[in-house]
Chain A
Amino acid sequence: MVLKDLIKPENLVYGKSKVQEDVYMHYCPGCSHGVVHKILSELIEELGIQEKTVGVAPVGCAVFAYNYIDIDWQQASHGRAPAVATGISRMYPENFVFTYQGDGDLASIGAGEIMHACNRGENILVVFINNGIYGMTGGQMAPTTLEGMVTSTTPTGRNVDLNGYPMKITNLMAQLPGTSYVTRQAVHTAAAARKCKRSLKKAIENVLAKKGTSFVEVVSTCNSGWKMTPVAANIWMEMNMIPYYPLGDIKDSVKGGHIIEK
């Protein structure tokens, strides 16, 4: 049997989503952003919501997401995506609105915006990419940087007496009554990426059902910022990031409902 007989449209099991644009991404090799973009594109195609989806991408590596996913996009100032998404979802309540933010953006500069958007229970999905540093600007320390982690602004490692403790922002969001589904996932292995897809699907369905804010954190790598190879960065993440940011659902409830912490 030759490969030519196998490579036929009827045997296709995995391919590029039609929602994803046919361009090369600007991300560094092995960047987790690409996997999350791909999962979002697949879900938008599966749920048939391409025409009514609006993404809000603030400053960060994912600012160019509008080049890669074929939906409507709005650019926001650094950290202000939840505020912009609030406006869009209130003006166009039939649309599905999501923000796509990094950790420097969401946990530091936009900490106020995300806190209040989640508290109001806006019908938006927040995708939070947590790689522990400011990836785009050159690997500076972010609020989520682990204790002792070397970054370009903490060359001897993060000192908690000087810089504070790494912030578990997803756990904070789970405490707010406006959120309905709060989870932490990763995309470093095929199994984790498939699980992340299921979580994102549930989150999108919750938003479409107007159940309140859904918050999905994706623990990611930034191999350029961490100065590692993509494969080594995944191993480092598994050994260091995931013990501090354990994966799994943190809250699965409805807006204003009881907080059931898992």
Chain B
Amino acid sequence: MAKVRGAVVVDNEGCKGCGLCVEACPEDVLRLNREVNSRGYHYTYMENPEQCIGCANCGVVCPDTCITVYRMKI
């Protein structure tokens, strides 16, 4: 079976740190950052980037549309 690798790019300034993407992620990739953006929100980042499968669940549930998802077969 071909392995799939994914990547998530978060618009750090647009993220409001609601945490819905962290819950939606089936592979436990995302976490909320300890750092805050200029608006004071703990934005999302990829804690375990090697586990991402590019399913785009995080992007679908993101209310602020700040997640872009890429996927590639390797």
Contacts and interface: CB of A to CB of B under 8 A. Distances in A.
Interface residues on A, range: 35 or more
**Interface residue SS majority, chain B:** mixed
A8 B7 CA distance: 10
Contacts of A14: 56, 59-60, 67-69
Interface string B11-26: 0011011111001100
A77 interface: no
A17 B60 CA distance: 12
Interface stretch (A23-31, A47-55, A88-96, A241-249): A23-31
B14 A6 contact: no
A189 B61 contact: yes
Contacts of B56: 13-14, 190
B47 to A, nearest CB: 13
Interface stretch (A134-142, A143-151, A199-207, A227-235): A227-235
A13 B69 contact: yes
Interface string A5-18: 11110011111110
Contacts of B18: 29-30, 230-231
Nearest to A8: B70
Interface of A: 1, 3, 5-8, 11-17, 20, 24-25, 27-35, 38, 187-190, 193-194, 229-231, 234
Interface of B: 5-7, 9, 13-14, 16-20, 23-24, 39, 41, 49, 54-65, 67-72, 74
